[in-house]
Amino acid sequence: MNWYEKLSKYFPIEEMKSKEHMELLLKEKADIYHKDEGPHHVMMYVETDDFIFVDYLFVSKEARGQGLGKKLLNRLKEKQKPIILEVEPVDYEDSDTKKRQRFYNREGFTHAQSVGYRRRSLATNEVNELEILYWSPQDESEQSIYEKVKHTYEAIHTYKDKQLYGESYEDVDQVVTYNAEAAEASDQPTV
C-alpha cells in the first residue's frame, strides 16, 4: 500500500486532499511541504521559518502504542518552533478521536480555544469543524497561532484548488476565525 492509500484509509474523505494536490505540493512547494514515510508511518508536514504545521500523521495499527508517534513529534519539537495541527473534535461514539486527543495532550499540545476552523469539504460538500492544537517552546500567543493557521490555509490547503478540484475553497476569513474574548480567557491564570 502506498503512502496516499495509507492516509486515505485512515483519514475521513472530507479531511483528505487529493493525491494530485499533495504531489503538487511536494513538487512545487518542496521548500516547505514534506513527506516523512516509513514502513509504519506517514507524516506530511509544512515547515516554515517560524512554525511547523502537521498536515497528516498516520501510524499503522501494528505500530501504535510503541512510541512511534511520540518519536516523530519529538523530531519536530527538536526544531524549537511552534507545531500546529488540526484534529477532529472528540466524538464519544468514535474511540479513535478520544485516543488521538489524549495522545496530543500527553505530548504537550494545547487546544487553541480562540481559533475556530470550519471548512466546507469539496469532496462531500459538508461543513467540517476541526480543533486547532498547538505545541510551543516559547509560549506562543493564540493570536500568533491564528495567523499561522490562516497562512497554512492560504498557502497549502487552497493551493491551486480551482485547478485541482474545479472549484475553490471558501475564503480564509470564512474558515478560520479568531475570538479575542476566548483568547483573553485562555491567557488568564487558572485558580
CA–CA gap between residue 81 and residue 146 (Å, rounded): 15
Q: To which CATH superfamily is domain 3-187 assigned?
A: Gcn5-related N-acetyltransferase (GNAT) (3.40.630.30)
| Nine cell digits for residue 144 | 500568533
Using one digit for the tens of pLDDT, what is the confidence trace for 26-49?
A: 999 999 999 999 999 999 999 999
Local structure of residue 140 (DSSP, 8 states):
-
CA–CA gap between residue 81 and residue 52 (Å, rounded): 7
pTM of the model: 0.92
Using one digit for the tens of pLDDT, what is the confidence trace for 62-105?
A: 988 899 999 999 999 999 999 999 998 866 566 576 788 889 99
CA-based nearest residue to 128, from 172, 156, 86:
86
Q: What is the biggest distance separating any 2 CA atoms in the chain, rounded to whole angstroms?
A: 51
Residue 139 backbone class (left: φ over 0; alpha: ψ -120 to 50; beta: rest): left
Q: Decide if 72 contacts 38 (C-beta within 8 A).
A: no
